[in-house]
Homo-oligomer: A and B are copies of this chain.
């Protein structure tokens, strides 16, 4: 793999040198071409080292102990929260550590259903109570993580699920739905994990505000790939995962405006989230502790802090520029292959760096197999966005997705692989 200076100005040779896994080979000795960063990204040495240093020198249960190790571990854990807060334009106490974005979205959904059972709750939580007639709004392009929790919330509260449809180029169709006075939540992906379309956040926030609904942003595919300021976006909640942004698995973040977190009943309960416990009943600590029951993912938070350092040193604007460049190359080269159809916007306006496509006459699984045989790792299937695929009348797409270590040369191999697949299957 020759890793040259990228047009975006990134020193790719240096960056790639930080990621040990990128130098391995797969199948019969082929260099790994990892185009599956949308599923999970790889980790640089700096993240691995930060976690290891923490574990070899400071590891202890945080927010519990009074000995020196416990102090140091707590400091490191909270320092990571502060770093992440800075990255996304939030206050540290607005961030809750979760195991992944999925848990973050579920946390919000369960806060609503827990608040809907009013016994024993303070009046504050009333604004989260739902009932028949209330509406939760999502979109048809959502990842299952931002759809199924809302379906289940509706099941539990008898609220109604409604959704925006999708345009032919894979964007949220703003004309397909009118919010109503009964709309309580509008939840959508900042960037689609399939079409890479970037949502019109300002417009959706405006509409939600107009009817007094809360906005939940699935920021899984935005925070890792572009500059995001959650306060400026004006959303109420946002969720993202560490493993997609060069950080560890097992850690994610839920952002919530202080005023809202303050008013929400807890989700997962247990140690370290309490104020006072009696057998007869308990009261709970202020956020973010209220939502971090049990011994947390300590070293993982520290690792995520190191990932934020790594990304910040590069600059999220340059990360975004680099990925747009990669998307341009992917769209250009795939566009020259007959029989390839892009699922998603075909130009770079309001679009991130993943490219999903189908190949006429060759099933995505078969295309993926041919690519895999050449060392190119892509994802095939519905990518946890089944309704989106159904909307386009297809079962599965091939998705290539990138991160800061991906090179133009790697992306160019996609089109070659697709041609090879067409040849192999005789179409």
Contact = CB atoms under 8 A, between A and B. Distances in A.
A269 B24 CA distance: 34
Interface string A301-326: 00000000000000000000000000
Contacts of A295: 39-40, 100, 102, 241, 243-244, 249
B274 A64 contact: no
A57 interface: yes
A119 B60 CA distance: 44
Interface in A282-310: 282, 293-300
A72 to B, nearest CB: 9
A302 B158 CA distance: 40
Interface of A: 20-21, 24, 26-27, 32, 34, 36, 39-40, 42-43, 48, 52, 55-61, 64-70, 99-103, 105-106, 110, 114, 117, 119-120, 140, 143-149, 151-152, 155-156, 158, 161, 163, 241, 243-244, 248-251, 266, 268-274, 276-279, 281-282, 293-300, 365, 368-369, 371-372, 376-381, 384, 386-387, 390
A106 B390 CA distance: 34
A296 B56 CA distance: 24
A160 B126 CA distance: 24
A243 B277 CA distance: 24
A43 B298 CA distance: 13
Nearest to A41: B59
B161 A279 contact: yes
Contact of A270 (B34, B58, B105): B105
B269 A106 contact: yes
Nearest to A71: B372
A278 B54 CA distance: 44
